[in-house]
Chains A and B, each alone.
Chain A
Amino acid sequence: METPNSTGDRIAQYLKDGKRFDGRKPGEFREIFVETGVSKKAEGSARVRIGKTEVIVGVKMDVGAPYPDSPNKGNLMVTSELLPLSSSRFESGPPKFPAIELGRLVDRGIRESKFVDFKKLCIKEGEKVWTVFVDIYTINHDGNLLDAAAIGALVALKTAKIPKYDGETGKVIYGEYGDEMMPVSKEIPIVTTVHRIGDSILVDPTLEEEDISEARVTIGGSCEGKVFSMQKGDSGDLSIEEMHKILELSENVRKEVFSKIDKFFK
């Protein structure tokens, strides 16, 4: 909305020739930078930068009651805050739709891929299970917060240690850890978003590109070609051929992103 029409028109014109302002190809990501251990108070945390976009993600854990429909599984809660600090577009106050959407898309990316083995987070069936809180905070918004947040959530979970729990008092001893790490799978699910601008299809938009995006599809999946979660966003439509292209591009991009963040999973 806040990108002037003249800029938007030029972006679209460039894309017709397969070009972007920053010299990237339409299917190419910006540099991805990942750092772990952002907060010592968190069970696990990560900072992710994609170009100028930056988010921090932290994992906190607590013991609580399981949901009635999953008495032997731990709980997952993903929330996000679009901090006013990170962009003049964000205002303080109760979460609006974009913050809810960000949290839910990351939530489903983790949940549906079975990245965390929630059965191992059960302490006593039907009574006590671990709840895993994944909290996402934006630090600088230059487009594609979602993909950055999803990477951050993966790395934060992967590096998270489970705090000690005193079964007698029923209290979590925060700050004291045993050897127990978050039970995560070897297969790393990646969540990426593909955008359509005019007839062009691209990934990892900058803020300006994101502003003129007509439709987007967020796809979570493995590098082995499986898709676990998907959601189309924005009010543009897509032809079935475009959807085929998006599915194929997304599969390639998952591999590219994985190769860039692979070292954090070793």
Chain B
Amino acid sequence: MAKDFKRPDGRGVEDIRPMKAEVGVVPNADGSAMFSFGNTIAIAAVYGPKKMHPQHQQDPKKGTLRCNYNMISFSVTDRIRPGPSRRSTEISKITEWALEPVLMIKNYQNMVIDVHINIIQADASTRCAGINAAALALAHAGIPMRDIVSSVSIGKLDKQLVVDVDKDEEDWEEGEGATDIPITMTSSERLTHIQLDGKISNDELKQVLELAKKATKKVYEVQKKALKESLEVKE
């Protein structure tokens, strides 16, 4: 890997943008959290477990996780038309799949846990920030979990692998262009989500997984700290 590679914002190739995490940002919700990577800010709120309505959607075998990812209309340069899109529908489902493996909701039969994720400001990697916020919000809501998930995007700019892709990097056009690979892992290194758009070889992908392993650990530390802080008694 080239050491002299210059990222648009001057970060080192394995540097994540400054992360912030805070739980309890939506007092009405049963659990809530904010997570940000630099200028990408996501908030998530959990409502439930509560009885699933309409009744025919109830699952008698286990609880249901229902995620809703939404970008605020003014979170990006060109205003987004409010309401669900094909993209947001897919990210919502991907988020459910990323979170479900760590949730212990077998005993919440016929119930639903709603997770609402909103992107307030977008500078790429929004689904990763959303998943991180959602994981925190679920923990904050006291939903039994066997682990927490942490998400980060790995990028390939021309031939260089980088951690935590921002918008300037997402639009990279030199050489082989940009490959964007959002990945979510549990703290015990199980993969719960991976997506990819671009061009990359199998060998490079193996390096990507190693980078993601290290980077999600850093995200995990930030999440853990935020959860601990929320439990401290304020004088």
Contacts and interface: CB of A to CB of B under 8 A. Distances in A.
Interface in A228-266: 228-240, 242-244, 247-248, 251
- Bin the interface of chain B by size: 20 to 34
B53 interface: no
A234 B213 CA distance: 21
Contacts, number: 84
A240 B213 contact: yes
Interface string B92-114: 01101100110000000000000
Interface stretch (A7-15, A30-38, A95-103): A95-103
B16 to A, nearest CB: 20
A90 B196 CA distance: 29
Contacts of A236: 101
A226 interface: yes
B194 A229 contact: no
Given A97-B89, A237-B190, A238-B190, A251 B202 contact: yes
Most buried by B among A227, A228, A233: A227
Interface in A194-238: 217, 225-238
Given A232-B194, A238-B190, A227 B97 contact: no
Nearest to B186: A237
A32 B191 CA distance: 31
Interface residues of A, number: 31
Nearest to B193: A232
Interface in B135-184: 181
Given A236-B101, A240-B189, A247-B202, A231 B195 contact: yes
21 contacts: A97-B89, A101-B90, A101-B93, A112-B197, A112-B199, A226-B199, A226-B200, A226-B201, A227-B196, A228-B197, A229-B197, A230-B181, A230-B196, A231-B196, A235-B97, A235-B100, A235-B101, A237-B192, A239-B189, A247-B205, A247-B206
Interface of B: 78, 86-87, 89-90, 93-94, 96-97, 100-101, 181, 186, 189-202, 205-206, 209, 213
Given A100-B86, A231-B195, A243-B209, 15 more contacts: A104-B87, A108-B197, A112-B197, A225-B201, A226-B201, A227-B199, A228-B198, A228-B199, A230-B196, A232-B194, A235-B100, A237-B190, A240-B209, A242-B191, A244-B209
